[in-house]
């Protein structure tokens, strides 16, 4: 029998290039939230792929951007520190956009990385196949890539080939997690992320970056029902009004959609209670960042 292979792989790219979509497709279930709002991911999300031959622990980093708050600075340092901890790096770029300053910033940082780096050109379903060589040409001379792999994370095109190439290069190693486990994050964290995703999806652009989710209680009332209470934390009273909506309609919709995903995650019936709480300037207060799940801050 061939030796079992295992290792850690980072996904890095500027905001909104599809890293979370790729991670969710690989592990077969939602572990990272998705939206069309940039900088959705705030923590390093670990998703775990396991087969009979290998186990890959994927780390989906926050999209690289210029930080404007302590939260933004945490996200930036979280991303860059990941590159020193892994066996390989997937540099994810979008097929439907030109190389930009954010890509150049990442490329400059990747020049210091000694591990294999793969160029993953995502969203190939959005371009004509004849245009793909021009997209790749923008990047191929920037770094000594181990491989160039075009994929559609949304449709799954070529993702199996990506996994195959990664497994072939991973070292022999142990199975770090049980085969059925798809994330190393605790239940409370994933529940908070699923609620935050619905806020991203349903509210206006000015709200999402000011939102945190504080899951205050998870109680199993019986063998089949889980009662969950959570605060949706915003910075301004006007944002609270938007999230609650007319006669509570928006908050109700957020709760209904989040409950469906949480029930899928837990495999139980969920009773979800949501409140909206105004905490001015929470993104610039280190103690609150830690309270809301950003544990690696130094503030």
Pair 202, 138 in one domain: no
pLDDT in tens, 172-196: 999 988 887 777 666 777 788 888 8
Pair 159, 195 in one domain: no
pLDDT (0 to 100) of residue 38 = 41
Domain boundary among 135, 169, 203: 169
Pair 137, 229 in one domain: no
39 vs 282, residue with greater confidence:
282
Pair 9, 138 in one domain: yes
Q: Please state, rounded to an integer, the average pLDDT across all residues of the chain.
A: 80
Pair 144, 260 in one domain: no
pTM score above 0.75: no
Pair 146, 50 in one domain: yes
What's 1's DSSP letter?
-
Pair 86, 127 in one domain: yes
Pair 39, 102 in one domain: yes
Local confidence band at 114 (pLDDT 50, 70, 90 cut-offs): confident
63 vs 169, residue with greater confidence:
169
Pair 205, 159 in one domain: no
DSSP secondary structure string for all residues of 137-194: HTTTTTS--SEEEE-BTTTTBTHHHHHHHHHHHSPB----S-TT--BSS-HHHHHHHH
Residue 137, domain member (yes or no):
yes
pLDDT (0 to 100) of residue 41 = 41
pLDDT (0 to 100) of residue 19 = 86
Domain boundary among 141, 169, 197: 169
Residue 99 belongs to domain spanning: 5-169
Structural element, H or E, at residue 287 = helix 286-291
Percent share of the chain, pLDDT over 90: 36
Residue 148, domain member (yes or no):
yes
Domain boundary among 138, 169, 200: 169
Pair 157, 197 in one domain: no
The structural domain count of the chain equals 2
CATH number at residue 139: 3.40.50.300
Angle, vertex CA 78, rays to CA 75 and CA 84, nearest 5 = 155
With beta carbons less than 8 A apart as the criterion, state whether 129 and 158 touch.
Answer: no
Pair 162, 41 in one domain: yes
Pair 58, 111 in one domain: yes
């Amino acid at each position: 029998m061939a030796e079992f292979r295992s290792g850690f792989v980072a996904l890095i790219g500027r905001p909104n290039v599809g890293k979370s979509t790729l991670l969710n497709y690989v592990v077969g279930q939602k572990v990272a939230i998705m939206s069309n709002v940039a900088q959705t991911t705030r923590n390093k999300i670990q998703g775990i792929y396991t087969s009979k031959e290998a186990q890959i622990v994927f780390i989906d980093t926050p999209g690289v951007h210029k930080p404007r708050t302590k939260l933004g600075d945490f996200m930036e340092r979280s991303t860059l520190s990941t590159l020193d901890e892994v066996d390989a790096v997937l540099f994810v770029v979008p097929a439907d956009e030109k190389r930009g300053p954010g890509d150049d910033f990442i490329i400059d940082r990747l020049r210091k990385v000694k591990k294999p780096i793969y160029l993953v050109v995502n969203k190939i379903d959005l371009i004509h196949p004849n245009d793909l060589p021009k997209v790749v040409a923008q990047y191929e001379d920037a770094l000594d890539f181990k491989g160039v792999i075009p994929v559609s994370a949304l449709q799954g095109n070529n993702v199996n080939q990506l996994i195959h190439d990664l497994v072939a290069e991973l070292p022999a190693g142990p199975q770090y997690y049980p085969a059925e486990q798809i994330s190393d994050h605790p239940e409370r964290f994933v529940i908070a992320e699923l609620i935050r995703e619905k806020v991203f999806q349903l509210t206006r652009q000015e709200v999402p970056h000011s939102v945190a989710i504080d899951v205050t209680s998870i109680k199993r009332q019986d063998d089949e029902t889980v009662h969950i209470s959570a605060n949706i934390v915003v910075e301004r009273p006007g944002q609270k009004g938007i999230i609650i909506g007319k006669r509570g309609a928006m908050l109700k919709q957020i709760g209904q959609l989040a409950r469906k995903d949480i029930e899928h995650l837990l495999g139980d019936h969920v009773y979800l209670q949501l409140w909206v709480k105004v905490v001015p300037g929470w993104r610039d207060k280190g103690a609150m960042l830690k309270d809301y799940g950003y544990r690696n801050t130094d503030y």
